[in-house]
Structure 1
């Protein structure tokens, strides 16, 4: 087998998943992550369909359901906290044959990491700062630790991928901003809790959500329209921006902003997509959000990361490590599927935080209609169900 050593940048979802499947294919993967340790906090994700199927193949189903949440209702509330609209989530379970769970993205990352940590070289607190392709590999310059050589390099390092920047060019060439920003943070001892209910409160151009987590924690999620660029990077300026957006909000907004003032950990980013004509260049490839971010609001980024990692590793196995052939097949299999998901994500962004009062009213009417038997299935069925099934590759090593 050719091209056996692979350096993967990114310790979130796509990176550890790719490490797992590459090892099962007989490769020697190394994982590098810029952060000094696994990330915690952030936001929760809805995890279903093919991503869930792949997690089952990895032996993670029991753990995912143990740490995850089975949300009963999505509820939109008014200024006084009274229910305006909403629907039960049973339809999602029906559409996915029970393969549907909500969990913290950091928990999924941790479960994936647990599957690889004892068998793979993992480098924390370091990053790739230079790539030079040579005839028989890629020379990689690290920020801390000199230079190493690998047969292949894969960028699995998210929306702001450093590998993509080094190999393909600056982010602005590939990023499509959807006109929104998102922020999230967690607190302890917040009341009320509303177990297994996702609550949303909105005004034109802004939404805040509350979701109850385990261990007496509560997650707050903000989605709001932005007309300026770039977004602030300093924590105090990010908080100031959120206060300006939500200071006139009702419901629990004043209390939530008080909690915001006390937090030291705030996830804050633009809502963007990555659109590229090709996901590989020579011996360097991209996967997950680095290649095709559908946007955080789509709720499918983690599942798509796991799908793309599975297919990339499988195609490298199928091609006996001949990377040119494998990269072509990997992209050909996934591109139409990913483009469909990106189109759906653009529609979902405007539905989550409509820019006008009329848009809010229409969103609420549509949401109320989901309570009609069969209508939710008809309306969102195509967005939830997956039209493709990855091949069942013949892995060289046991996967459980």
Structure 2
């Protein structure tokens, strides 16, 4: 493996050298990459037993592509590019409504956006860190004690260690955020939908495409990569209240989803059956994180832990890559971590908030809430299939690049 170079950091050398990053999904390894490159001593702790592979495809768009290029990841990501060819919609009876290119719905740029499995992105991020960054798996932060000069950390394993900075990159339901800022509820914004994701055998002949069934307030989606791979299924529905009682009860989750999709049309019976049998069921709510500040003392948040955009925005990973790049750069540029944290937030917050807005402005395409919204969506799809565009695509594309990316080296 070719060692990473260590350019002289711009500005003052950082006084905070030992950094603990909690989370090894997307934002955590991206941050670790840049911090290591700037000469920090980085440890990444992850509660899972390893970096998770596979998974559904995610998009890297706009300015996030430039971050990936500056990391030297573009050859690996191009090789892993899924290249979905078509997004098809059917009505409640399973009859075709229209098929469009995915970019017509997402507002992305055909031929420029990268679509890769989440696990392939995680692998591309972590591979250059082998032998350079310490990874601690099967563990998590139990307590944090920031005494002003350092952060004293006790892990679930009982290990005690001290770091100059701690960064929470541990997702929507961040443990780091809970320990430092308190319970999630004040920062959590529920967008009114519940979803179940799972894999099932590809018995439908789908290849590098997605198909979506919709009724007001409910959608079912099948997403295919290669013909010899399992499909990713998603069942999404409107729910006025957060189903708290189902979160720790897989049987309650399955019962709730089954109840909301009783139809015998299209592939719904097979999808519900696949959901019932799946050993990888992922059940959660569609929600975002909104905070007044992303840092406190020597602890800061990045990625979904700070500003989850929700999967309806399609921008969670892209915003995470950008946030990690800026946070590391500002820590290298400023010797005072509080100045660095403030500069990072000043640059990234408007970008994150603009991409959060995509989830509420464009959600009716995938999950129309009313019959009127569904009819309007279907009319747009038919127009787009005939060669027109999807309303809002230009605004969506602008949000993907709504930050002037600094250069730190």
Indicate the TM-score class for this superposition, using the shorter chain for normalisation.
over 0.9
Cα offset for 1:100? 0.8
| Change in CA separation of 1:204 and 1:63 when aligned onto 2, cut-off 3 Å | same
Q: Residues 46-92 of structure 1: CA distance to partner in whole angstroms, max 9, x if unpaired?
A: 22112222112222222222223111221101345432023224668
Asked if 1:206 corresponds to 2:218, the answer is yes
**Which residue in 1 is equivalent to 2:5?**
none
**Aligned residues of 1:43 and 1:185 also touching (Cα < 8 A):** no
| Change in CA separation of 1:69 and 1:53 when aligned onto 2, cut-off 3 Å | same
**Which residue in 1 is equivalent to 2:6?**
none
**Which residue in 2 is equivalent to 1:351?**
365
**Aligned residues of 1:187 and 1:217 also touching (Cα < 8 A):** yes
Cα offset for 1:285? 0.3
Contiguous gaps of at least 5 residues in structure 1: 395-400
Cα offset for 1:221? 1.4
TM-score of the superposed pair, with normalisation by structure 2: 0.90
**Which residue in 2 is equivalent to 1:397?**
none
How many equivalent residue pairs? 391
What's the C-alpha RMSD, in Å, of the aligned pairs?
2.0
> 2: CA distance between counterparts of 1:97 and 1:67?
16
Q: 1:248 aligns with which of 263, 269, 273?
A: 263
Describe the SS at the equivalent of 1:176.
Answer: strand
Asked if 1:310 corresponds to 2:325, the answer is yes
> 1: CA distance between counterparts of 2:320 and 2:271?
32
Asked if 1:388 corresponds to 2:403, the answer is yes
Contiguous gaps of at least 5 residues in structure 2: 1-12
TM-score of the superposed pair, with normalisation by structure 1: 0.92
> 1: CA distance between counterparts of 2:344 and 2:109?
24
**Following superposition of structure 1 onto structure 2, how do residues 280-291 of structure 1 map, counting pairs within 5 Å?**
280-291=295-306
**Which residue in 1 is equivalent to 2:314?**
299
Describe the SS at the equivalent of 1:250.
Answer: coil
**Following superposition of structure 1 onto structure 2, how do residues 313-352 of structure 1 map, counting pairs within 5 Å?**
313-319=328-334, 321-352=335-366
**Which residue in 1 is equivalent to 2:7?**
none
**Which residue in 2 is equivalent to 1:272?**
287
**Aligned residues of 2:287 and 2:309 also touching (Cα < 8 A):** yes
Describe the SS at the equivalent of 2:233.
Answer: strand
Q: 1:237 aligns with which of 252, 257, 274?
A: 252
Moved more, 47-56 or 198-207: 47-56
Q: 2:50 aligns with which of 37, 40, 46?
A: 37
